């Protein structure tokens, strides 16, 4: 059985909207997907560039947008900069929708009665 997700049903809707907006760009979604697939160790920026084919200057712009909304972080090891998905933030983002699922179902049934 997979581990239970920690959800945050009270997440600020503006925060959620900013995260979804960042992922609403095809290039950023591709970058994020690449990093999710890489797992918790992340990838060096050069490897992200190689896997996505996005020009380095454009990649930097997109990475900063994802960092700005908390979806990824970066760490430096000597001269190499790594990008890592913030899986807790991803879980909170997805968990928001899971927590909202069917929340008004009882209200609709009461209104119909």
- pLDDT tens profile 35-75: 999 999 999 999 999 999 999 999 999 999 999 999 999 99
C-alpha atoms less than 13 angstroms from C-alpha of 10 in its C-beta half-sphere: 0
Q: What is the pLDDT of residues 11-44, one digit of tens each?
A: 789 999 999 999 999 999 999 999 999 999 999 9
Q: pTM score, two decimals? A: 0.82
Give the whole-angstrom CA distance, residue 29 versus residue 32.
5
Domains and CATH numbers, the chain: 13-97 (1.10.10.10)
DSSP letter (8 states) at residue 12: -
User: How far apart, in whole angstroms, are the C-alpha atoms of residue 69 and residue 23?
Assistant: 10
């Amino acid at each position: 059985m997979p581990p239970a997700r920690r959800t945050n049903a009270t997440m600020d809707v503006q925060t959620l909207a900013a995260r979804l907006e960042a992922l609403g760009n095809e290039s950023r979604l591709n970058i994020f997907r690449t990093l999710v697939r890489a797992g918790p160790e992340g990838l060096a920026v050069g490897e992200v560039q190689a896997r996505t084919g996005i020009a380095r200057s454009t990649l930097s712009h997109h990475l900063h947008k994802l960092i700005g909304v908390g979806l990824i972080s970066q760490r430096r090891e000597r001269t190499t900069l790594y990008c890592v998905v913030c899986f807790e933030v991803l879980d909170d983002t997805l968990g928001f929708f899971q927590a909202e699922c069917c929340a008004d179902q009882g209200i609709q049934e009461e209104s119909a009665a």
